[in-house]
Structure 1
């Protein structure tokens, strides 16, 4: 079960969030903090108690006592994004879920590898989904890397798409369109940034306009001097400058 810290400078919002969290059967304990300074103090106490007692019997990782921080963004003094950056520097950082009334910080949440991004007013069902995500990550096998999530906007609601679900990415200026088996999503992230970020996740540049998950390539086609790949139902051109490197990668992957 999860050990939770909720941080919000507005007492009514913090009280409602704690009420909903404590009602979730996956939450073992939920404490509240009214600002970032108090949050750091509580996490420091958790670290001290964890060091004295050792890891819990359930073997849950985190800040030795705090598995996840549900964090408001706009707070006086140290803001939520700044606190998340500080926590990211811990040897064993807690997971982060942002809970905010502002939609415009999803990209920053992506950069900080937040598990989820919940908009206020908080709905019980939406919060339960965020808790489910955290619960799965905390109780996953320690050696398994956590799947990276990309925030996308769907009808005014922010959702997170797993990088593992993305087959290929198409450039749209300063934006990129993520193509999955169940549709596509436009995000404000340049293709060049995703190429660098996902190189170790098996994504390879095949054209100035396309980044492809190597494992999702079904066919490599050579037609005269032109090269293309089939990814699901899509056929994508491979530029000459990328063709040789791509063929080498596919040959190494072959059994």
Structure 2
């Protein structure tokens, strides 16, 4: 798994990063010293879990945690801090675990095992549906979803957004979501490009489902959709998004 450590203290970041790298579940460990640098890294990499300190100079780790909750597929959160008085509040923002300084290898391993258990449950859910399409034309107005020998036909105008994470493509409509191992490019080739817009390397949205474009952290933006979801606009897509929405 890919992990991001957010702490304003270099020694604490290095210590936790070292312990995380000793665990067999860890693929890569990145570091950030502030909310702004954390957001930059989240836009660059598909982070699976983020270890956040509560005290970040003039910032607060809960501020980042609350913003992460607005994402469609947020990374899992583990608080890694010297303060033991915020544990209850941490779980109010759906934190997986709460690890206290000074860090111990066994405690870090325990937190990663909890994260892994959640990932396994999500994987079972993601694999429960398979998407197949027999329509290759860009002009196709439907996407066919096949599961348990039954085919569900999704009209393109009902598709609110699509996102991909860890090789799983999720299509979201009002009240429904469907997962497949197809690529984002596969879906893009079947959508009407006049109605859909890629806003992140892993996210496509239906333009008709966008209600607001609002500033986010560190001079980036996020989109508010008509169903209440919020999705980030990565830096490389900001210009194209503004051009489409403000023309």
Q: TM-score, normalised by structure 1?
A: 0.48
Higher relative contact order (CA 8 A, sep 6+): 2
